[in-house]
């Protein structure tokens, strides 16, 4: 029944149209709006996000023949532009209360969350010592848009403006259920990765990648990837647990 | 369970601090050995025996160089063997490349790379030495060792931070004094060491390590011209190429053979050209090819391994020297031996601090008596140095006319074996020498006697040299180990005190208050992070560039902490709203929303502080606010400075007014702070902009007046306030209500004057803070006024945040965070871990006559402005933090209260500092062979030591003020009760 609603309301949702082997069954079984995610859905979502990241690199390298070190702002721009539709479209499928909330609305609030999250990320980075200046402006904007896609946009698409959910994910860091894992772990991974990525910056190695925001971006991406793998593992583990309980 | 009493705690703390001081001084004396250094330069007196004080004090400076030259020649009795010297320094060339190792010639590839040099060695025209260099094997200290014969210590480099010029006696200076002309081509280090000594020079920079070709071409391009000229006596060539090749590709780099070939060509060219000139105009030229240090397999240097210390001395041009190849490559010497050898060969006095021994083969061409004379001169110079080191050296007591009749008395007079040994060695040599001299006329048995004398002299020289150089380079392991262990013990004492305090005093009290085991505070993420920062700092200390860029770390961890605080506050935001948890004080709820402006202010002002001075070493060229302001003009700087100063002063006065107490003393205090604030403003307006005026009488007087008024006002406030503050008995109308909720239960207030204590501490704390701010406004550079204001804001915001944080018991974490704030501010004021950033100019404000002590104190005040600021503001923290709830009325005694108020705020800075100090000591010990040990790690160690001193002073002030105030108030209360 939910599949039907999904199909009716969001013809673009990439996850509701495909012939999912496990997805439909799991969805049918679960009543709670929190646990509408199966392991395969989580896997596919994370895989596409990861592939989008790789595609960003591929496009910038092969089409424009630039890379993160030589043209950080342009490369970051390509990455977030390619990443953005995938993240928004995928995570909007998992929106809370899909009965009440239209797919397009989730997409819209995801898109709205992009600049807001970028602002938050940029402010955080500046507070932590990111350089201020006209020559860094483009890089900072593109970097924070990318970070926003890693951290804030999934949460806005999924939870909207529900304070309790935000509080649970970002203030308490107490993810509860598969969906929470999928939002929480990659976001925290990206933040922690970016934090660690900043450490080589003051060293005197005189490498071009020590520039803002190259190594921070690398750190964030690594953290994001680790977060996605972790989230998938947890979703898998949880699925098994529930399966056992159900049996 | 260990119970703390007040006296016990104080005793343990003091013991810990004293143990730490002992450990620190043990380590410092072990690690930075003080070099036996004699000031001044050797003059004619060096040609007389040191034990006679009969040398007429002839003023050599008035003599014309030519006259001086003749005087030296006449006194020394050794005719100069050479007229000209070419000193060719090949940076980083290991002697192994030319002389091989263990008597074996070098590999075939290397032999082929330098065919000419090898042919010289084989034909006996040259003689090579493995000259052992002393660590640190870095160019500048090694050059100093070569020309002065002395092995420098670190501290004399560190305390010499304004000049790089070599101030010690050295052969270049001696050459210059007798009018020798000198030319230098090559590494510009020579120009830094000897400014103004060279007639002509062409310096190249060793900065571009990647460049291996141009750097040597720049040296060789003038070589032909210089060799054709005959107006110089000393030509120094310093080739950097080999070192650069090593840094790029290591010893077996593919570039190495061609580079060596190039060096060989240079040697060949010099040799052939000097041969020509020698035949033409009878000028005898000595070519000395030396290297300053070797290199490891990877091409690095700086440490003390054999590969690095194996430097080369190759003497070309000694006459009638017939030796076979094997004996030409097997000799060993020390790098410091170059100085006395050259000095004696060229007829100048041996530099005063030389510890080297002349190279015997260089003097083979001389007559026997001249050779003995050279040995004698070298011995006398070393004896002088020994006398400085060992004041009890008995040889000096001998009259200078007779030697023979004192043979036996030496042993009776000396107690120490080393003194006795050196003394008897010298006596032996001197006796043999004098007997040889007396027998010389008869020509009876000179051959045997002569060789005995030479052997005796060498024995003395070698052992004296060895002993002297050991004194300067040896790091006494036992001393270092004892120092580290002692520091570790003190660190353990202080840490166990802190943890004991937390366990015994804070946790039980907290349990009592919170009533439920469930809400017993666990260590939250913020707390873990704050404690983890210590670990981050310790790890980062191991990297030289992290030490150079330490300000990044402090700012990064501090702003991360503030962001985590935001997160933590966001956590509590909804727990208050949603959970109906048990809350002891309902009034506290509103307080929880106060955090936001404080944390945001902390973040913003922290970021501005970070951007104010770029700081560090590697990224100084990046733009920062201070350079931007300074480039925009002095008017803008002044405006910003005035605004910050006025804001600081009005903030301070506002805080004092807020207390609202009336009475003569309060008025006096406010008035005197206002006056001194205005005077500081006047000083800024009138004197600070031009440097000329700052040294005149008016400015000095004004500054002194400010010191006096500020000092009296602060001291007066702190001392007199406890006596005059009105005691409130059993009424809860505290005038502090606005600032912090009074949670004092009536039971405690009856027993102890808690409210008054906190009022007084609040007032004293503000007095200290205003005192310190005004002092800094006066002393700091104009550009640093805004950082002072921002620091004040940050400290106030943190303290207000902590006091509004309700019942949080984690004083440990809060005081640690304040300590970090102080360290971050230290770097925000433009300080760094190099000695170059110490503001020397400000250290003379208000000092009328030159006084090292006073300007040292001022320099300390300027440099440690921020850590001290935080420590002084701890009194404010104590007075505003609601800690008195910790006291359980039934159990409370006077010591308990005091411990709870002062315990952690005093112990945490000491504990943190002891951790960092101990860790850094271990790091320094591990890094003792690192390339940057003298340039990066050792200056940082000096800063760490100074921070330790700063902590002692600050904690001492806080603790004594707290205890004094408390004692006075208790006495007064008892009296009042007694009267009733």
The confidence score (pLDDT) of residue A14 equals 57
Query: Is B36 inside a domain boundary?
Result: no
Query: Is B383 inside a domain boundary?
Result: no
State the first-to-last Cα distance of chain B, in angstroms, to the nearest integer: 40
Q: Cα separation of A113 and A105, whole Å?
A: 12
- Inter-chain contact A127–B603, Cβ cutoff 8 Å? yes
Q: Which of B549, B553, B571 sits opposite A171 (nearest CB)?
A: B571
Predicted confidence (pLDDT) at residue B387 exceeds the cutoff of 70: yes
* Closest among A172, A207, A168, A236 to A68, alpha carbons compared: A207
User: Which residue of chain A comes nearest to B550, CA vs CA?
Assistant: A202
Helix (H, G, I), strand (E, B) or coil at A37: coil
Q: Which residues of B touch A (CB under 8 A)?
A: 543, 545-546, 548-549, 552-553, 555-556, 559-560, 562-563, 567, 570-571, 573-574, 578, 603-604, 606-607, 610-611, 616-619, 622-623
Cβ–Cβ pairs < 8 A, chains A and B: 59
Q: Which of B546, B567, B607 sits opposite A171 (nearest CB)?
A: B567
Give CA angle at B867 (B862, B870), nearest 5°.
120
* Closest among B520, B111, B88, B67 to B263, alpha carbons compared: B88
Predicted confidence (pLDDT) at residue B412 exceeds the cutoff of 50: no
Q: Which of B545, B603, B607 sits opposite A203 (nearest CB)?
A: B545
Q: Convert the pLDDT of each residue in B715-769 to its tens digit.
A: 988 888 888 877 765 444 444 443 444 444 445 555 667 777 888 888 889 999 9
Structure tokens at B316: 């070309």
Q: Which of A145-154, B402-411, B538-547 has the lowest mean pLDDT?
A: B402-411
What's the whole-number mean pLDDT along residues B511-537? 70
Q: What is the CA radius of gyration of chain A?
A: 18
Cβ-Cβ contacts under 8 Å, B616 against chain A: 202
Count CA atoms within 13 Å of residue B978 on its CB side.
6
Q: Cα separation of B20 and B6, whole Å?
A: 21
What are the CA-CA distances from residue B103 to residues B96, B108, B111, B303, B331 (Å)? 10, 15, 14, 24, 9
User: Which residue of chain B comes nearest to A167, CA vs CA?
Assistant: B571
Q: Which of A128, A132, A171 sits opposite B570 (nearest CB)?
A: A171
- Inter-chain contact A203–B546, Cβ cutoff 8 Å? yes
Q: Cα separation of A228 and A189, whole Å?
A: 8
Structure tokens at B554: 């402090």
Give CA angle at B80 (B75, B81), nearest 5°.
150
The confidence score (pLDDT) of residue B249 equals 79
User: Which residue of chain A comes nearest to B568, CA vs CA?
Assistant: A171
Q: Convert the pLDDT of each residue in B65-106 to its tens digit.
A: 888 888 888 888 888 888 889 999 999 899 989 888 887 888
Q: Which of A170, A198, A204 sits opposite B618 (nearest CB)?
A: A204
Where residue B690 falls among pLDDT bands split at 50, 70, 90?
Answer: low
* Closest among B543, B475, B415, B649 to B936, alpha carbons compared: B543
Question: Chain-wide mean pLDDT for chain B?
Answer: 80
User: Which residue of chain A comes nearest to B611, CA vs CA?
Assistant: A129
Task: Specify whether the CB–CB gap between B748 and B887 falls below 8 A.
Answer: yes
Query: Is B964 inside a domain boundary?
Result: yes
The confidence score (pLDDT) of residue B959 equals 92
For an interface test with B, which of A125, A126, A128 has the most B Cβ atoms less than 10 Å from its Cβ?
A: A128
ipTM, 2 decimals?
0.88
- Interface check for A192 against chain B (CB to CB < 8 A): the answer is no
Predicted confidence (pLDDT) at residue B507 exceeds the cutoff of 70: no
Task: Specify whether the CB–CB gap between A83 and A54 falls below 8 A.
Answer: no
Q: Is the dihedral of CA A125, A129, A133, A138 positive or negative?
A: negative
Residues contacting residue B448 through CB under 8 Å, at least 6 positions apart: none
For an interface test with A, which of B568, B574, B592, B617 has the most A Cβ atoms less than 10 Å from its Cβ?
A: B574
- Interface check for A111 against chain B (CB to CB < 8 A): the answer is no
- Interface check for A17 against chain B (CB to CB < 8 A): the answer is no
Rounded to the nearest angstrom, the gap between the alpha carbon of residue B882 and the centroid of all alpha carbons in its chain is 41
Please give the DSSP secondary-structure letter assigned to residue A99: T
Cβ-Cβ contacts under 8 Å, B545 against chain A: 202-205
- Inter-chain contact A163–B574, Cβ cutoff 8 Å? yes
> What is the residue-level pLDDT of chain A in tens, covering all 247 positions?
344 444 444 445 555 544 343 333 344 333 444 446 778 888 889 999 999 999 999 999 999 888 888 889 899 999 999 999 999 998 888 888 877 778 888 899 999 999 999 999 999 999 998 888 888 999 999 999 999 999 999 999 988 888 888 888 888 888 888 888 889 999 999 999 999 999 998 887 778 888 888 999 999 999 999 999 999 999 888 888 877 776 6
Cβ-Cβ contacts under 8 Å, B570 against chain A: 167, 170-171
Cβ-Cβ contacts under 8 Å, A204 against chain B: 545, 548-549, 617-618
Calculate how close chain B gets to A78, using CA atoms only, in Å: 28
Of B307, B325, B359, the one marking the end of a domain is B359
Structure tokens at B742: 């009074």
What are the CA-CA distances from residue B21 to residues A122, B483, B827, B867 (Å)? 46, 9, 25, 19
Please give the DSSP secondary-structure letter assigned to residue B727: P
Q: Which of A127, A167, A204 sits opposite B563 (nearest CB)?
A: A127
Q: Which of B545, B562, B604 sits opposite A202 (nearest CB)?
A: B545
Q: Which of A173-177, B694-698, B818-822 has the lowest mean pLDDT?
A: B694-698
Cβ-Cβ contacts under 8 Å, A198 against chain B: 556
Query: Is B318 inside a domain boundary?
Result: yes
Q: Cα separation of B228 and B230, whole Å?
A: 7
Structure tokens at B560: 């991360």
The confidence score (pLDDT) of residue B732 equals 42
Residues contacting residue B722 through CB under 8 Å, at least 6 positions apart: B760, B964, B965, B968, B969, B972
Cβ-Cβ contacts under 8 Å, A171 against chain B: 567, 570-571, 573-574
- Please indicate whether residue B418 or residue B153 has the higher confidence score (pLDDT): B418
Helices and strands (DSSP H and E) totals, chain A: 10, 0
The confidence score (pLDDT) of residue B31 equals 83
pTM over 0.80: no
Calculate how close chain B gets to A242, using CA atoms only, in Å: 29
Q: Convert the pLDDT of each residue in B601-642 to its tens digit.
A: 999 999 999 999 888 777 777 888 888 888 888 888 889 999
Among all chains, which residue has been given the structure tokens 């490349």? B97
- Reply yes or no: is the peptide bond before residue B136 cis, omega within 30 of 0: yes
- Inter-chain contact B555–A129, Cβ cutoff 8 Å? yes
The confidence score (pLDDT) of residue B17 equals 94
Task: Specify whether the CB–CB gap between B383 and B375 falls below 8 A.
Answer: no
Q: Which of B559, B578, B622 sits opposite A128 (nearest CB)?
A: B559
Helix (H) or strand (E) holding B658: helix B634-659
**Residues pairing with B129 in the sheet:** B313, B331
CB atoms within 10 A of CB B638: 16
Q: Convert the pLDDT of each residue in B937-973 to its tens digit.
A: 888 998 999 999 999 999 999 999 998 998 888 888 8
Task: Specify whether the CB–CB gap between B305 and B296 falls below 8 A.
Answer: yes
Among all chains, which residue has been given the structure tokens 């009424």? B731
User: Which residue of chain A comes nearest to B569, CA vs CA?
Assistant: A171
Please give the DSSP secondary-structure letter assigned to residue B94: B
- Residue B209 sits in a domain whose CATH number is 3.40.720.10
Where residue B255 falls among pLDDT bands split at 50, 70, 90?
Answer: confident
Cβ-Cβ contacts under 8 Å, B555 against chain A: 128-129
The confidence score (pLDDT) of residue B301 equals 77
Q: Which of A211-220, B331-340, B541-550, B876-885 has the lowest mean pLDDT?
A: B876-885
Backbone angles phi, psi at B203, to 5 degrees: -90, 140
- Inter-chain contact A127–B606, Cβ cutoff 8 Å? yes
- Interface check for A196 against chain B (CB to CB < 8 A): the answer is no
Helix (H) or strand (E) holding B217: helix B214-220
Q: Which of A61-65, A170-174, B542-546, B894-898 has the lowest mean pLDDT?
A: B894-898
Cβ-Cβ contacts under 8 Å, A172 against chain B: 571
Q: Which of B571, B603, B607 sits opposite A172 (nearest CB)?
A: B571
* Closest among B544, B200, B507, B198 to A204, alpha carbons compared: B544
For an interface test with B, which of A171, A194, A210 has the most B Cβ atoms less than 10 Å from its Cβ?
A: A171
Query: Is B44 inside a domain boundary?
Result: no
Q: Which of B71-75, B249-253, B928-932 has the lowest mean pLDDT?
A: B928-932
The confidence score (pLDDT) of residue B807 equals 52
Where residue B54 falls among pLDDT bands split at 50, 70, 90?
Answer: very low
Give the structural domain span for B310: 83-359
- Interface check for A201 against chain B (CB to CB < 8 A): the answer is yes
Query: Is B957 inside a domain boundary?
Result: yes
CB atoms within 10 A of CB B535: 11
User: Which residue of chain B comes nearest to A206, CA vs CA?
Assistant: B618
Query: What are the contacts of B529-537 at 24+ separation with CB within 8 A?
Result: B529/B560, B529/B561, B529/B564, B530/B561, B530/B813, B530/B816, B530/B817, B530/B820, B531/B813, B531/B816, B533/B557, B533/B561, B533/B816, B533/B820, B534/B912, B534/B915, B534/B916, B537/B916, B537/B919
Helix (H) or strand (E) holding B334: strand B331-334
- Please indicate whether residue B836 or residue A168 has the higher confidence score (pLDDT): A168
- Interface check for A11 against chain B (CB to CB < 8 A): the answer is no
Cβ-Cβ contacts under 8 Å, A127 against chain B: 559, 562-563, 603-604, 606-607
Predicted confidence (pLDDT) at residue B518 exceeds the cutoff of 50: no
Helix (H, G, I), strand (E, B) or coil at B131: strand
Give CA angle at A39 (A37, A44), nearest 5°.
90
By CB neighbour count within 10 A (0-12 exposed, 13-18 middle, 19+ buried), where does B481 fall?
Answer: middle
What percent of chain B has a predicted confidence (pLDDT) above 90? 22
Of B338, B359, B380, the one marking the end of a domain is B359
The confidence score (pLDDT) of residue B157 equals 56
Query: Is B235 inside a domain boundary?
Result: yes
State how many domains chain B has.
2
């Amino acid at each position: 029944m939910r599949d039907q609603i999904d199909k009716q309301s969001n013809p673009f949702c990439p996850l509701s149209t495909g012939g999912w082997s496990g997805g439909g069954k799991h969805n049918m079984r679960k009543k709670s709006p929190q646990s509408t995610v199966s392991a395969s859905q989580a896997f596919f979502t994370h895989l596409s996000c990861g592939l989008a990241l790789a595609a960003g690199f591929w496009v910038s390298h092969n089409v424009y023949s630039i890379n993160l070190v030589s043209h950080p702002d342009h490369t970051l721009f390509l990455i977030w532009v390619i990443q953005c539709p995938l993240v928004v479209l995928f995570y909007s499928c998992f929106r809370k209360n899909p009965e009440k909330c239209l797919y397009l609305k989730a997409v819209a609030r995801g898109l709205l969350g992009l600049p807001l999250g970028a602002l938050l990320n940029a402010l955080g980075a500046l507070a932590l010592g990111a350089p201020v200046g006209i020559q860094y402006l483009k890089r900072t904007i593109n970097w924070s848009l990318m970070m926003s896609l890693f951290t804030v946009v999934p949460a806005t698409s999924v939870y909207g403006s529900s304070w309790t959910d935000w509080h649970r994910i970002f203030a308490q860091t107490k993810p509860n259920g598969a969906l929470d894992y999928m939002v929480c772990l990659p976001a925290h991974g990206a933040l922690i990765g970016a934090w660690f990525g900043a450490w080589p910056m003051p060293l005197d190695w005189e490498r071009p990648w020590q520039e803002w925001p190259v190594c921070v971006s690398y750190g964030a991406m690594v953290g994001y990837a680790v977060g996605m793998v972790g989230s998938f593992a947890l979703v898998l583990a949880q699925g098994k647990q529930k399966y056992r309980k159900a049996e | 369970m260990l119970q703390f009493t007040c006296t016990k705690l104080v005793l343990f703390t003091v013991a810990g601090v004293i143990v730490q001081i002992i450990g620190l001084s043990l380590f410092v004396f072990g690690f930075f050995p003080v070099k036996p250094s004699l000031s001044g330069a050797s003059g004619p007196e060096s040609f007389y025996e040191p034990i006679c004080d009969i040398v007429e004090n002839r003023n050599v400076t008035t003599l014309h160089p030519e006259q001086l030259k003749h005087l030296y020649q006449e006194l020394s009795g050794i005719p100069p063997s050479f007229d000209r010297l070419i000193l060719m320094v090949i940076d980083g060339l290991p002697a192994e490349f030319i002389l091989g190792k263990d008597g074996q010639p070098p590999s075939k590839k290397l032999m082929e790379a330098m065919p000419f040099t090898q042919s010289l060695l084989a034909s006996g025209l040259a003689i090579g030495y493995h000259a052992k260099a002393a660590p640190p094997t870095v160019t500048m200290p090694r050059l100093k060792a070569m020309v002065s014969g002395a092995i420098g210590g670190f501290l004399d480099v560190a305390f010499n931070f304004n000049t790089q010029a070599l101030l010690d006696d050295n052969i270049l200076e001696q050459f210059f004094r007798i009018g020798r002309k000198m030319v230098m081509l090559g590494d510009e280090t020579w120009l830094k060491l000897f400014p103004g000594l060279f007639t002509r020079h062409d310096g190249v920079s060793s900065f571009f390590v990647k460049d291996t070709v141009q750097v040597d071409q720049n040296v060789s391009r003038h070589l032909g011209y210089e060799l054709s000229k005959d107006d110089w006596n000393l030509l120094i060539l310093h080739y950097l190429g080999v070192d650069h090749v090593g840094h790029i590709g290591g010893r077996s780099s593919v570039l190495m053979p061609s580079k060596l070939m190039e060096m060989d060509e240079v040697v060949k060219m010099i040799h052939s050209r000097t041969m020509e000139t020698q035949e033409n105009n009878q000028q005898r030229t000595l070519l000395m090819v030396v290297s300053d240090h070797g290199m490891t397999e990877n091409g690095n240097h700086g440490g003390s391994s054999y590969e690095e210390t194996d430097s080369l001395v190759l003497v070309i041009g000694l006459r009638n020297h017939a030796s076979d190849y094997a004996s030409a490559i097997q000799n060993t010497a020390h790098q410091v031996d170059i100085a006395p050898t050259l000095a004696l060969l060229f007829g100048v006095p041996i530099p005063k601090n030389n510890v080297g021994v002349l190279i015997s083969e260089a003097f083979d061409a001389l007559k026997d008596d001249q050779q003995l004379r050279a040995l004698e001169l070298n011995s006398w110079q070393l004896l002088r140095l020994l006398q400085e080191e060992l004041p009890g050296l008995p040889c000096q007591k001998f009259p200078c006319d007779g030697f023979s009749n004192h043979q036996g008395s030496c042993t009776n007079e000396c107690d120490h074996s080393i003194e006795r040994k050196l003394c008897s060695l010298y006596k032996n040599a001197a006796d043999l020498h004098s007997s040889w001299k007396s027998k010389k006329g008869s020509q009876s048995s000179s051959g045997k006697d002569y060789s005995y004398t030479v052997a005796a002299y060498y024995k003395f020289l070698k052992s004296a040299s060895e002993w002297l150089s050991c004194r300067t380079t040896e790091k006494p392991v036992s001393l270092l180990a004892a120092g580290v262990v002692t520091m570790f013990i003190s660190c353990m004492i202080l840490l166990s005190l802190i943890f004991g305090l937390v366990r015994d005093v804070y946790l039980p009290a907290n349990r009592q208050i919170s009533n439920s085991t469930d809400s017993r505070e666990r260590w939250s993420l913020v707390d873990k992070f704050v404690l983890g920062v210590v670990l981050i700092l310790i790890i980062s200390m191991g990297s030289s560039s992290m030490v150079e860029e330490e300000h990044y770390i402090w700012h990064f961890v501090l702003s991360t902490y503030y962001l985590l605080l935001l997160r933590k506050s966001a956590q509590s935001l909804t727990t208050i709203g949603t959970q109906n948890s048990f809350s002891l004080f309902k009034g506290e709820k509103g307080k929880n929303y106060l955090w936001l402006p404080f944390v945001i202010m902390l973040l913003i002002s922290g970021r501005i502080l970070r951007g104010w001075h770029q700081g560090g070493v590697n990224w100084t060229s990046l733009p920062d606010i201070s350079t931007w302001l300074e480039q925009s003009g002095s008017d803008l700087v002044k405006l910003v400075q005035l605004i910050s100063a006025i804001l600081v002063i009005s903030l301070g006065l506002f805080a004092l007014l807020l207390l609202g107490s009336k009475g003569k003393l309060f008025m006096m205090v406010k008035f005197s702070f206002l006056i001194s604030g205005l005077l500081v403003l006047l000083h800024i307006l009138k004197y600070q902009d031009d440097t000329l005026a700052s040294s005149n009488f008016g400015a000095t007087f004004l500054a002194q007046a400010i010191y006096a008024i500020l000092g009296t006002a602060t001291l007066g406030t702190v001392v007199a306030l406890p006596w005059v503050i009105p005691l409130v008995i059993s009424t809860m109308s505290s005038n502090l209500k606005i600032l912090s909720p009074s949670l004092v239960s009536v039971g405690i207030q009856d027993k102890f004057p808690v409210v008054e204590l906190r009022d007084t501490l609040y007032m004293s704390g503000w007095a200290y803070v205003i005192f310190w701010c005004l002092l800094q406004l006066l002393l700091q550079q104009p550009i640093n006024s805004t950082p002072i204001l921002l620091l004040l804001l940050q400290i106030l915001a943190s303290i207000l945040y902590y006091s509004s944080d309700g019942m949080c018991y984690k004083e440990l974490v809060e005081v640690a965070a304040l300590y970090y704030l102080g360290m971050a501010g230290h770097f925000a004021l433009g300080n760094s871990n190099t000695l170059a950033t110490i503001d020397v100019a400000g250290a003379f404000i208000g000092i009328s006559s030159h006084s090292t002590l006073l300007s040292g104190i001022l320099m300390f005040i300027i440099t440690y402005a921020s850590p001290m600021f935080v420590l002084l503001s701890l009194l404010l923290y104590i007075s505003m933090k609601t800690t008195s709830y910790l006291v359980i009325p039934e159990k409370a005694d006077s010591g308990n209260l005091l411990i709870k108020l002062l315990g952690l705020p005093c112990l945490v800075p000491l504990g943190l500092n002891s951790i960092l100090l101990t860790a850094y000591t271990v790091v320094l010990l591990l890094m003792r062979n690192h390339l940057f040990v003298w340039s990066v790690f050792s200056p940082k160690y000096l800063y760490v030591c100074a921070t330790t001193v700063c902590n002692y002073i600050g904690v001492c002030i806080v603790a004594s003020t707290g205890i004094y105030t408390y004692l006075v108030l208790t006495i007064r209360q008892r009296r009042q009760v007694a009267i009733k």
